[in-house]
Structure 1
Amino acid sequence: MALTYIGWLRGIEVITLSDANSTAEGVRTNRRKGRRNNVVRGYPRTQKAAQ
C-alpha cells in the first residue's frame, strides 16, 4: 500500500513487482495503460515499503 502511494502506482503495478525490479537507484516499475516505465527513488521510506 505504501509503495502504491509513494510511487503513484496502480495496485496491479505493485502486485507484479519482484526482486528483479529492485535496483541501486530504487524500484523500477512496469507501468500500464500507456504510461512510461520509471524508477521510484530509493528513499528510506521506499526501501522499507519494498521489503
Structure 2
Amino acid sequence: QISDRMNIKAKTVSSHKGNIKRKIKTHNKQVIYHVVRLTDNVTNGIFVNMR
C-alpha cells in the first residue's frame, strides 16, 4: 500500500517537474523583463533622490 502511494507520488512529482520546467522557461523571460524594469525604476528613483 505504501509503495503504491510512493509510486504515484514519484510519478506525479516527476510529471509536475516537467510541467514546471516548461513553464519556467517562458516565465523566466517575463521575470527577467520585470526585474530589469524594476531595477531601472529603483535606480532612477535613487539617482533622483540623491541629487
TM > 0.5 between the two?
no
State the structure with bigger RCO (CA 8 A, min sep 6), 1 or 2: 1
State the structure with more CA Rg: 2
User: Could you tell me the TM-score, scaled by structure 1's length?
Assistant: 0.18
TM-score normalized by the length of structure 2? 0.18
